[in-house]
Amino acid sequence: MRTSLSLVLTFALPLILLVATGLGKNSAALGGTEFRISLALTVGLVSIGTVGYSLAIARDRDTGVFQRLRVTPAPTWTIMVSRWIVQLGAVLVMAIVVLVVAALFVGVTLPPQDYLFTVLVALLGSAVFLSIGQAIVGLIASADTLNAAGRLLYVPLIGLSLFGDTDRLGTTVELVSRWSPGGCLETLLSAAMGATPWSGQLWGALFASFGYTVVFAVIGIRWFRWVSH
């Protein structure tokens, strides 16, 4: 039940956003079509990498799935790495679905190399959001807490990134928004799709993304416990 719900959220939410942001007169105020695609991809990444991942890990830790794996002769690190690979695979599928829908129904087609860049940036973004997910399960032991509050993560991770290109809420908000994990990802995605030229800000976004990944991964691995109590 829960599995299928998160599956729907994972694939339907980005697509709904992609289509819905194109409806209505004010859609242009949010940004162009590339912005809509990058928003959809960011939502998909947060959903798979942060929310979906941390809920799945917390649940499996609670029910003893990990302890059962840990008594097999498989080296412990393979247990985590196999989970990351599964999430990366899901991100890949999600990104391809979003780009195909964008091409077929939103009318955005990219030159072939931009598709490649976009998918590569999506995978880089997975590292950022997976490490955030890892930090969350490292710091929060209880699956119940995560179940209740996990979806609130969308607010800082996506909500913040929405204001990166507008100073309507003030320059501080814009700055925070632009340099938030979601903001960096959208900067990189829109460049990958050829909407913005390569610039110093892109290097900044790239470095910030690496920095977020390292910091959150270290927190998430250092404080991770295999049992919840």
Partner 1 sequence: MIPALRVSGLRVAYGSIVAVDSIDLEVREGEIYGLLGPNGAGKTSALSAIEGLLRPAAGDIVIGDVDARAHPLQAKAQLGVQLQTTSFHSSLTLVEIVRLYAGLYGVTLTSAQIRELLGQINLQKEASKRFRELSGGQQQRFSLLIATIHDPALVLLDEPTAGLDPQARRQLWDRIERFRKEGRSILLTTHSMEEAQAVCDRVAIMDHGKILTVGTPAALIAAHRDDPQVRQAAHGPVTLEDVFIALTGRELRD
Residue with smaller CB distance to partner 1, 63 or 145: 63
218: three-class secondary structure by DSSP: helix
Smallest distance, Å, CB 63 to partner 1? Answer: 4
Neighbours of 205 (CB within 10 A): 23
Stretch that binds partner 1, among 20-28, 45-53, 57-65, 92-100 (CB under 8 A): 57-65
Residue with smaller CB distance to partner 1, 150 or 182: 150
Angle at 95 between CA 91 and CA 96, to 5 degrees: 120
The C-alpha atoms of residue 143 and residue 137 are separated, in whole angstroms, by 9
* 107 conformational bin, left if phi > 0, alpha if psi -120 to 50, beta if neither: left
Q: Which amino acid is at 226?
A: W
Interhelix angle 200-222/112-139, rounded to 10 degrees, is 30
Residue with smaller CB distance to partner 1, 2 or 145: 2
Residue with smaller CB distance to partner 1, 65 or 176: 65
Q: Which 66-125 residues touch partner 1, going by CB under 8 A?
A: 67-75
Kindly tell me the burial class for residue 101, based on how many C-beta atoms sit within 10 Å of its own C-beta (0-12, 13-18, 19 or more). middle
Smallest distance, Å, CB 127 to partner 1? Answer: 23
Binding status of residue 151 toward partner 1 by CB under 8 A: no
Smallest distance, Å, CB 76 to partner 1? Answer: 9
Smallest distance, Å, CB 44 to partner 1? Answer: 19
Q: How many residues touch partner 1 (CB under 8 A)?
A: 16
Smallest distance, Å, CB 62 to partner 1? Answer: 9
Residue with smaller CB distance to partner 1, 49 or 181: 49
Instruction: Give the CA radius of gyration of the chain.
Output: 18
Binding residues vs partner 1 (CB under 8 A): 3, 59-60, 63-65, 67-75, 226
